[in-house]
Structure 1
Amino acid sequence: MHAILLNRRTNERKEVKVGFSWTEFFWGFWPALFRGDWKWLVIILLVDLVLGVWSFGGVSAAFNMIFAFFYNKLYINDLLNSGFEPADDSSYNTLLAKNYIASGRRFSTINESHYGRTR
């Protein structure tokens, strides 16, 4: 599943993957580098280096396998906290279905009907 996020201030648009991160699973820190996600790039690199040095990469590989379950959610939450919001109802519903956002969270681009308001 994918969702489209939009930053109204900068007019930046990002299509993000929702769910398991296969790219992080196979490539470790590289997806964070290509996404420009500097915070998680540094964290993943440090963990990989610290765990990989004494275990010849085995524990580092296990970390990447486990972290792949969480990386996309962490990345999307960082984007949402920095001013991005779902670009349309479909993206909103996708993020809501996967529990990436709370059901009452308000965004300016989404129709008011999602927030349970009655007229």
Structure 2
Amino acid sequence: MKALLRNEGGITKSVKVGFSWTTFFFGFFPALFRGDLKWAAIMCIMAIVVGIFTFGFGAWIPGIIFSFVYNKIYIKELIEKGYGPADEHSKVILEQRQIVTAVA
């Protein structure tokens, strides 16, 4: 499921809502390609730390965990940077997923 976010400058971004298959298969690279360097570094460091303690066998565990939460984190950071739902459909999707709250 996708939502559209738009900032005050008129820039529109299409963002995926829900499970991140790209993070599941490619780890921190989707965050890196989106320009989200902070979360790319966090994911990479987590994989390295867990991998060190499990002799490399557990390095995939943070990737699975981040697959469930990364898209939500990314959308919330875009909202903090001034983006908002571009249309009513996107607003409903983000409210259902409890990413944004309904304004009375």
TM-score, structure 2 length as denominator?
A: 0.92
Task: Provide the aligned C-alpha RMSD in A.
Answer: 1.2
1:63 maps to a residue whose letter is: P
* Structure 1 residue 49 displacement after superposition: 1.4
Runs of 5+ unmatched residues, structure 2: none
Equivalents in 2 of 1:27, 1:80: separation in Å?
25
SS at match of 1:91: helix
1:8 equivalent in structure 2: 8
2:32 maps to a residue whose letter is: L
Larger displacement relative to structure 2 (21-30 or 51-60) = 51-60
SS at match of 1:68: helix
SS at match of 1:73: helix
Share of identical aligned residues, percent? 44
Deviations, residues 15-46 of structure 1 (Å, cap 9, x unaligned): 00000011101110010011111110111111
SS at match of 2:58: helix
* Structure 1 residue 13 displacement after superposition: 1.3
1:66 equivalent in structure 2: 65
1:43 maps to a residue whose letter is: I
Larger displacement relative to structure 2 (49-58 or 83-92) = 49-58
Structure 1 residue runs of 4 or more that deviate by more than 4 Å after TM superposition: none
